[in-house]
């Protein structure tokens, strides 16, 4: 079975960590991650840049671009994509394409701080 693990915390506090705190947490996480990757249990893991770097595309007609993260509470997180594009404009173009294929709701476009490819997952091959 494949699961996604979504990470929540107080962003203002986490992005206020000192370099030492940051290194300590990343060090501990790295050990766990490596063990799980060796066991073939951990696929891609990634860290997002702060919500201040986010842009949201409302999939209305026409689509509406809003600064900042997705902040509504009546919709739920249903999935996500990882894009490799040149800049925000290209990311928005991709989002608009996807939005045309699947209207309704919104995409939050959030740049990544970190991307680890992780292990090749057996369940993903069969999925």
Partner 1 sequence: MTDPAWINAAITAARPQAVGALLRYFRDLDTAEEAFQDACLRALKAWPQNGPPRDPAAWLIMVGRNAALDGVRKRARLTELPPEEMLSDLGDAEAGAADRVDQADYRDDVLRLLFICCHPDLPATQQIALALRIVSGLSVRQIARAFLVGEAAMEQRITRAKRIVGAGDAAFETPGPAERAERVAAVLAMLYLVFNEGYSAAGDPARTGLSGEAIRLARLLLRLYPAEPEVMGLLALMLVQHARTPARFDAEGEIVLLEDQDRRLWDRRMIAEGLALIDKAMRHRRPGAYQVQAAIAALHARAATPADTDWAQIDALYAGLERLTPSPIVTLNRAVAVSKVRGPEAALEMIRPLGERLAGYFHFHGLTGALNLELGRATEARAAFDRAIALAGSAAEAAHIRQHLDRLAADHAPPDRAAPDRPPPAAGKSAPGAD
Measured in whole angstroms, how far is the alpha carbon of residue 94 from the centre of its chain? 16
Residues 6+ apart with CB under 8 A from 65: 55, 56, 57, 58, 92
Nearest distance from C-beta of residue 58 to partner 1, angstroms: 14
Q: Partners of 89 in the beta sheet? A: none
Nearest distance from C-beta of residue 124 to partner 1, angstroms: 27
Q: Are 42 and 33 in contact (CB under 8 A)?
A: yes
- Chain residues in the site for partner 1 (CB under 8 A): 10, 12-17, 21, 49-53, 55, 65-68, 87-89, 111-114
- CB of 112 or CB of 122, closer to partner 1: 112
Nearest distance from C-beta of residue 36 to partner 1, angstroms: 22
- CB of 19 or CB of 127, closer to partner 1: 19
């Amino acid at each position: 079975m494949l699961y996604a693990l979504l990470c929540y915390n107080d962003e203002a506090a986490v992005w206020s960590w000192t370099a030492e705190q940051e290194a300590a947490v990343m060090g501990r996480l790295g050990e766990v991650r490596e063990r799980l990757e060796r066991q073939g249990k951990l696929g891609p893991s990634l860290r997002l840049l702060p919500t201040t770097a986010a842009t949201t595309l409302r999939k209305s007609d026409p689509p509406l671009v809003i600064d900042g993260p997705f902040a509504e509470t009546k919709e739920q997180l249903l999935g996500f994509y990882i894009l490799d594009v040149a800049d925000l404009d290209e990311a928005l173009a991709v989002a608009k394409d996807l939005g045309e294929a699947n209207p309704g709701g919104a995409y939050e476009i959030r740049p990544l701080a970190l991307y680890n490819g992780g292990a090749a997952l057996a369940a993903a091959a069969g999925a």
